[in-house]
Every structure is written in C-alpha cells, then in structure tokens.
C-alpha cells in the first residue's frame, strides 16, 4: 500500500512540474461569444496577445462531444454527434496560450468536461459574470455570484481534480465590501487567477467602469487579478496598459476593442482594417471556419462601413468564396477549399439526412444512415437520370425572380414549345432534395438544401447546366460547384 501511495505522489509531482500558464503581466484576449473562435484567437496571438480565451462554451454542449483529431486541418475538434457541428476547434499553435471558458452550474458536469478537454488547452475558466438572460436562467454566469457556496464548490472540484490551471471571471457587485468578500472566497479555492469586469451585472458598455473597485480588491488577495471592462477608452496598445495601471491589476483583458480591431494587441500600432480582415479571412479559410461565423467577425470589424457599396456587397455574401473575392483572396480560397475537399472532408457538400458521428468508431470515422427515398415521378420511363453536386445559393441571384433557375427553365420551355418542368421533392430531418423532370430526362442535385424551394431551384440548375444555358465555369466561380 505504501508503494502504491508513493507512486501516486511521485506521479502527481511529475504532473505538477509540467509548465503551467502564468497569468502575471499578461495582455489577454477576452472571451467573446461568436468572436473568440480559432481564427480570431490565432490572429490575436500573431498580433501580440499573451493569452487567448475561447468564446463561452456551455458544459451541456461539450459533455456530449466527441474528440476528433482532424488530420486535414491539423486541429483537434470537439464535435456534437447529434448534428455534426463543431463546438470547439483548437490546434497546436495556440495550445500553450489558450484558455477555454465554460458556462456551467454543476460541479460534476464541469469536471467531466474539464477532464475531456484538459489535454488540448492550457487553462479552464468558469464564466461567473455573464449577465445574459440565457446564462442567468440556467444558473450560470452572474447567477453564480449570488450563490457563492455553489461557485466555490464548482471551482474547488475543478482545482482538486484537473492538471491545468483553473480560473474564473466575474463582475463587481454594487457594494465594494461585498465584492471583496466574494473574491476572497473564490480565491480560497486555489484558482490560479481571477478576471474581473469592472462593471456590475446591470451595467452595460455605455456605463463607466469602476477601476477603483479592482484597486481595492487587489489588496486583499495574492492571486493575479485580471482587469477587464476598459474597452471604451482603449484606442491603442498604450491604452491597454493604462487601464491595467488604473486598476493596479496583474494583467489586463481586452474584449470589444479587440473585436473591432484585433491589431489593438500590436505594440507598433493598429493595422488598417482591410489588412486585418485579409489576415482573418485567410485564417478562416485555412481552418475551415464556418462562413456564417466568419461573416459575423468581419461585420464586427466593418461596423458603419457595412453601409458603403462594398459593405453592402459583403452583406449579400453567403459563402467563404464570395467573401474572399472582395478582399482578393478568391483564388486562395478556391484552391484551399478544393484541397481540403479532395483530401476527404465530410462537410456541407456531403451532408445527408440522419448523418451521425458514431461514438463507438475510432477518431475521425464517420457513420452515415442513408435516407429512404420515394420518388413519385416514374423513373422507369425516363431515358437518363443526371445528377451533380450543385447547390442553389440565394446570394447569387438578384431579387428578380425571372432570373432564378426555375424561371429561366420555364421561359426556355415556352420558347422551345416543350412541356414545363415538373418537380418532386423529398424532405428528411429538415433537409430537402428535388427531382426535376424536363424533356424526357430527370435531373437532380445530390446536394441537400435547407428548404423545398431551394431544392427545386438546385434541380433546375442541374438541368440548365446540362442543356447549356448555364456555364460550368460560372457555377464553379460563384461557389455552386466544387470541383
């Protein structure tokens, strides 16, 4: 028994000697929902940030995820097996500097997630300050500040059972002494640092922060205090350091100022927003970031410029390719997406109803259930069935419905004195695919669309391509075809 105990002690000592994230004298990218994904984090590090936090990720989502080593992108992906979405993606480049922020209200569940992700991150942070209704109703975020014993239990459970540093992020309470007492309780759990947003739960960015609260708190605890909430007065790198000094904090965390221009972390000065967007887009392409998330990030940078002619053109974009064309990355995006696609990526182009990720398979393996199909159009009397993986992208068409594929095909049929096309659509699990019958042939896209109307337009597009009314080159350029 003594030998077993000794081995456990030695093992723990070895683990404790591994490099730990240091929270002193650091400039940090704050956790921001929808913003703090992998491309933003990597760009922040490139610009000079010392530590980067992920967006807040909810334990209920993470606890059911499967860890996948993505060899195509050299990333580690945490994938929700129920719908195939990526809850968290990281890579070796950021591992020494990345902190995953988690929303939780349950110590056991939080520990399960912590043990799942601790080999791929350098720190775990618990959100105890978010004032959003979703968090409060779930007993997470700022709700935990009103339940200090529960907050302490969650942090202590994590500190005692994880190999990586544990931290938390809070807001100040309306009363300074109450805030000091809360911070002392949280610090007693053994957490490695504590981030404090210098506003109360009910205050918003337009309200002045309270650096005086943080100055007082620092006097009562020995762990690093990370000051947050100064973005309204941060216009350049020197302003970050000024806010830190105003708070007398160990480190400083930047949110909105970084969201607007992540080059705020450059000691040499801000970069033009076009250069920032260019670098952000390139990273988004390299790491296959979802187009809707990339678009949100660029919108945050453009702000009022969304109303310019170029901004309005950008707002019409739905694909990564279309966004990249605006910032002269069109060829790069096309080649990169094709490279990933040809190497075997199972993405939106191959999505089928009932596609799942099987927990019992080895990492990276995908199990799919093929949908049952029922076509009311009689296939037996048709000469050919022509299929292609062509998608209908609404953003490629103006508001003039006469230019939509179905309308173009209908007009062509009238001119050629042929019967108009007819369509049969199948729908499963909120995905749709249509068959177009025209001039004795069947046309179908293998791409499953999000609604019946788009599925019919995609089938018509396959037909138009094969009768020569739409050029393949045009479809490749606008992203409807991946070759």
Quote the pTM value: 0.77
Q: Given this model, what pLDDT does residue 6 score?
A: 37
Q: Does 123 reside within a domain?
A: yes
Indicate whether 265 and 392 sit together in one domain.
Answer: no
The contacts of residue 99 (CB under 8 Å, 6+ apart) are 21, 51, 52, 53, 54, 121, 122, 123, 124, 125, 167
Q: Given this model, what pLDDT does residue 345 score?
A: 62
Q: Does 149 reside within a domain?
A: yes
Domain total for the chain? 2
Q: Does 324 reside within a domain?
A: no
Q: Does 301 reside within a domain?
A: no
Indicate whether 20 and 159 sit together in one domain.
Answer: yes
Q: Given this model, what pLDDT does residue 370 score?
A: 42
Indicate whether 406 and 264 sit together in one domain.
Answer: no
Give me the CATH number covering residue 442: 3.30.160.20
Q: Does 350 reside within a domain?
A: no
Cα-based torsion angle of the residue sequence 432, 438, 440, 443 in order, rounded to the nearest 10 degrees: -40
Q: Does 248 reside within a domain?
A: yes
Digitized pLDDT (tens) for each residue of the chain, 483 residues in all: 433 343 344 344 434 445 799 999 999 999 999 999 999 999 999 999 999 999 999 999 999 999 999 999 999 999 988 767 899 999 999 999 999 999 999 999 999 999 999 999 999 999 999 888 888 889 999 999 999 999 999 999 999 999 999 999 999 999 999 999 999 999 999 999 999 999 999 998 889 999 999 999 999 999 999 999 999 999 999 999 999 999 999 999 999 999 999 999 999 999 999 999 999 999 999 999 999 999 999 999 999 999 999 999 999 888 898 899 999 999 999 899 888 877 776 544 455 555 544 433 333 333 334 444 444 444 333 457 899 989 888 777 877 889 999 999 999 999 999 999 999 999 887 789 999 999 999 999 988 888 899 999 999 999 999 999 999 988 887 778 865
Q: Given this model, what pLDDT does residue 353 score?
A: 57
Give me the CATH number covering residue 259: 3.20.20.70
Question: Of 271, 298, 326, which closes a domain?
Answer: 271
Contact in structure between 21 and 52 (CB atoms under 8 Å): no
The sign of the torsion formed by the CA atoms of 30, 33, 36, 38 equals positive
Question: Of 271, 303, 320, which closes a domain?
Answer: 271
The sign of the torsion formed by the CA atoms of 468, 473, 477, 479 equals positive
Work out whether strand 193-197 and strand 225-228 pair parallel, antiparallel, or are unpaired. parallel
Task: Give the range of the structural domain holding residue 439, as residue numbers without chain letter.
Answer: 385-478
Q: Does 316 reside within a domain?
A: no
Indicate whether 17 and 140 sit together in one domain.
Answer: yes
Q: Given this model, what pLDDT does residue 133 score?
A: 86
Residue with tokens 């409060």: 136
Q: Does 83 reside within a domain?
A: yes
The catalytic residues are 130
Question: Of 271, 289, 319, which closes a domain?
Answer: 271
């Amino acid at each position: 028994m003594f030998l077993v105990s000794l081995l456990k002690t030695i093992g723990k000592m070895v683990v404790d000697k591994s490099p730990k994230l240091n929270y002193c004298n650091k400039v940090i990218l704050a956790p921001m929902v929808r913003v703090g994904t992998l491309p933003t984090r990597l760009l922040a590090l490139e610009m000079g940030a010392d530590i980067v936090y992920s967006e807040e990720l909810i334990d209920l989502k993470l606890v059911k995820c499967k860890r996948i080593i993505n060899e195509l992108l050299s990333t580690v992906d945490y994938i929700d097996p129920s719908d195939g979405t990526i809850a968290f993606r990281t890579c070796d480049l950021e591992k020494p500097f990345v902190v995953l922020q988690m929303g939780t209200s349950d110590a056991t569940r939080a520990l399960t997630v912590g043990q799942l992700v601790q080999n791929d991150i350098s720190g775990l942070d618990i959100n105890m300050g978010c004032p959003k209704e979703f968090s409060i109703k779930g007993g997470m975020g700022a709700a935990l500040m009103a339940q200090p014993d529960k907050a302490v239990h969650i942090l202590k459970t994590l500190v005692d059972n994880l190999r990586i540093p544990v931290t938390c992020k809070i807001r100040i309470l309306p009363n300074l002494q109450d805030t000091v007492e809360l911070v002392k309780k949280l610090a007693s759990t053994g957490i490695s640092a504590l981030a404090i947003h210098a506003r109360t739960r009910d205050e918003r960015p337009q309200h002045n922060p309270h650096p005086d609260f943080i100055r007082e708190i620092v006097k009562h605890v020995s762990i690093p205090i990370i000051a947050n909430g100064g973005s309204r007065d941060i216009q350049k790198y020197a302003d970050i350091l000024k806010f830190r000094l105003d708070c007398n904090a160990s480190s400083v965390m930047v949110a909105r100022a970084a969201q607007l221009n992540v080059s705020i972390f450059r000691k040499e000065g801000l970069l033009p927003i076009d250069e920032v967007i260019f670098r952000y887009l390139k990273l988004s392409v390299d790491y296959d970031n979802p187009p809707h998330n990339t678009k949100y990030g660029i919108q945050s940078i453009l702000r009022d410029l969304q109303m310019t002619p170029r901004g309005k053109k950008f707002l019409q974009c739905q694909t990564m390719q279309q966004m990249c064309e605006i910032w002269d990355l069109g060829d790069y995006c096309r080649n990169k997406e094709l490279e990933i696609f040809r190497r075997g990526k199972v993405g939106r182009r191959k999505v089928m109803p009932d596609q799942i990720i099987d927990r019992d398979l080895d990492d990276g393996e995908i199990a799919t259930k093929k949908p049952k199909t029922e076509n009311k159009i009689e296939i037996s009397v048709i000469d050919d069935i022509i299929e292609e993986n062509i998608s209908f992208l609404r953003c490629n068409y103006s508001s003039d419905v006469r230019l939509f594929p179905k309308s173009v095909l209908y007009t062509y049929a009238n001119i050629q004195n042929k019967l108009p096309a007819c369509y049969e659509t199948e729908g499963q699990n909120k995905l749709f695919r249509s068959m177009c019958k025209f001039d004795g042939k069947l046309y179908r896209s293998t791409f499953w669309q999000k609604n019946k109307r788009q599925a019919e337009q995609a089938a018509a597009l396959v037909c138009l391509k094969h009768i020569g009314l739409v050029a393949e080159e045009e479809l490749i350029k606008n992203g409807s075809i991946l070759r």
